[in-house]
Chains A and B, each alone.
Chain A
Amino acid sequence: MSEVKKIATRESYGAALVELGKNHPDVVVLDADLAAATKTGMFKKAYPERFIDCGIAESNMIGVAAGLATTGKVPFASSFAMFAAGRAFEQVRNSVGYPHLNVKIGATHAGISVGEDGATHQCNEDIALMRTIPGMVVINPSDDVEAKAAVAAAYEHEGPVYMRFGRLAVPVINDNADYKFEIGKGVVLREGTDLAIIATGLPVSGALEAAEKLAAEGVSAKVINIHTIKPIDAELIVAAAKECGKVVTVEEHSVIGGLGSAVCDVLAEEAPTKVKKIGVYDTFGESGPAVELIHKYQLDAEGIYTQIKKWL
């Protein structure tokens, strides 16, 4: 596995913005004094005249982005997930969501993989917050390929989009010729019949590895990557639940309100199925190297495998 290429999706975000900026003069990027960390600094370097550093004032940044959108610009407002979705929640809801403005929010440093900065900066609640806003698209890419595709798709989509990126370098798993990104469409990464593992974001690669380990023991697990949590691919989820009879969700986010809840919302109405939600269990994070935290919180392949085995 050491040969697998690893890239943090925040790097992908920065690179994709530069690419987007080349052909689309209406793209404007905003940040709140974190350009070096969110990687919007790459765009700033390429197109300084279309970059706005709002300083440490995320609420205002979201409002400024809304104002830019009313004039036809396509703003990408960037900060850590904690501040973009958390601190500025009400600005996102009222100044962006309610008027359904064409604002894209690039939220980096999501989840516990923020690492050493600890709980104050580890946002495990952003998916829950963002998916309650009517008309908001919520995307949580699993790797570099998907993150770049998501940025391009977000630009093409008319309306508000929340994109969630990570700080930690993660394996590139979607680097194949047939990969196609479509908002709202889940991706089957592995076929299986005993169990459907539905994952999003950082732990998708771990979920795939866990499925391999289960296969070695005779358990056939289907693995689905849900990069778009809203609108969710209900059709794919229902079909997988009916086919496999058991569902496990995996996310680097609270088990309250995130992917697991979104999947349960779908299944409760359309195909009641036993679901095990793997994620952050109603707790705050803590300081430590990201890889160690992902291990401690059982969101790596081993942790996912162990939790599934225990549940089965």
Chain B
Amino acid sequence: MNTLQLQKTANEIRKGIVTAVHSAKSGHPGGSLSAADLYTYLFFEEMNVDPKDPKKADRDRFVLSKGHTAPGYYATLANRGFFPVEDLTTLRHVGSYLQGHPDMKHIPGVDMSSGSLGQGISAAVGMAISAKMSGDSYRVYTLLGDGEIQEGQVWEASMLAAHKKLDNLVVIVDNNNLQIDGAITEVNSPYPIDQKFESFNFHVINIDGNDFEQIAAAFAEAKTVKGQPTAIVAKTIKGKGVSFMENQASWHGTAPNDEQYAVAMADLEKEGAALCQK
């Protein structure tokens, strides 16, 4: 896909996020929207996955360590063809397979159940170690929140990843600067994020995580790194694409009501129309 096609896809995924969360009347739109471009690039460009064969042995693995942004993950998987886009409106409903947090047992394309922060990265490290042990060539990607890295387990996992020289592992930090209680700098600052990963012996790449060219360059660079894992610190805008949600901590875990939903979809339709003019 070229950049314009990726942007159009991300726009559709953002519509899916807002629609799913609106239908659920709960959920986490802010961090789903901030990471929508990262999700799009991973599943439409970067990763070796097959919606027709979600469990194929040589697939690249993805673990959503910041599991609460499942709406972004699900909207991406649906648009990629793992399950029907219409099912997104069943998110968080009783009986739906689209659980509030990723459930590997029931959702096609989900490689690991997650949601309790700090745990996903450990599973990703386990997958990457397994590939090294067996001589498998698949790569492992895991997406973390910037608030999530306050969890000590993230650093336990990072220490082991570097110690084991897991150059098949890419850790992505969605650095949207906001968590439930406010700015990460006010709650318990994890900055400097890049230097922390560097000191843990990661190869670190800083990018604008809402810019496809920078995202593409970062993943390409990660593939060239030997003997150490890569951390991509992706600066993003929480709530990206929905005017009233952008940079608002209050939209971390709140669903839009009907009026807000209409405004959000109008914002995204407008963005979609603008992309079609390009």
Contact = CB atoms under 8 A, between A and B. Distances in A.
Interface string B106-146: 00000111011011111111111111011010000000000
Interface string A83-127: 000000011001100111000000000000000000000000000
Interface in B134-193: 134, 136, 152-153, 156-157, 159-160, 163-164
Interface stretch (A58-66, A185-193, A196-204, A303-311): A58-66
Contacts of B157: 60, 63-64
A54 B153 CA distance: 12
B113 A99 contact: yes
Instruction: Identify whether the interface residues of B are mostly helix, strand, loop, or mixed.
Output: helix
A145 B120 CA distance: 37
A189 B73 CA distance: 54
A276 interface: no
B124 A67 contact: yes
A28 interface: yes
B130 A68 contact: yes
A55 to B, nearest CB: 7
Contacts of A176: none
A57 B123 contact: no
A72 B130 CA distance: 9
B104 interface: yes
B129 A67 contact: yes
B122 A50 contact: no
Interface residues of A, number: 29
A234 interface: no
Contacts of A98: 103, 113
A54 B134 CA distance: 19
A54 B164 CA distance: 10
Contacts of A178: none
Contacts of B133: 28, 49-50, 73
B109 to A, nearest CB: 13
B158 to A, nearest CB: 9
Contact of A60 (B61, B103, B111, B122): B122
Instruction: Identify whether the interface residues of A are mostly helix, strand, loop, or mixed.
Output: helix
A94 B113 contact: yes
Given A60-B156, A60-B157, A64-B160, A90 B123 contact: no
Contacts of B125: 60, 63-64, 67
B153 A71 contact: no
Interface string A28-59: 10000000000000000000011010110101
B278 interface: no
Contact of A95 (B113, B136, B152): B113
A179 to B, nearest CB: 35
Given A55-B160, A64-B126, A67-B112, A95 B131 contact: no
B112 A66 contact: yes
B8 to A, nearest CB: 33
Contacts of A99: 103-105, 112-113
A54 B125 CA distance: 11
A227 B156 CA distance: 34
Nearest to B142: A67
Given A95-B112, A100-B105, 7 more contacts: A60-B156, A66-B123, A67-B122, A68-B130, A71-B134, A94-B115, A99-B103
Interface of A: 28, 49-50, 52, 54-55, 57, 59-60, 62-73, 75, 90-91, 94-95, 98-100
24 contacts: A50-B133, A54-B156, A55-B163, A57-B159, A63-B120, A63-B123, A64-B157, A65-B126, A66-B126, A67-B63, A67-B122, A67-B123, A68-B129, A70-B61, A70-B104, A71-B130, A71-B136, A94-B113, A94-B115, A94-B116, A94-B119, A95-B113, A99-B104, A99-B113
Interface of B: 61, 63, 103-105, 111-113, 115-116, 118-131, 133-134, 136, 152-153, 156-157, 159-160, 163-164
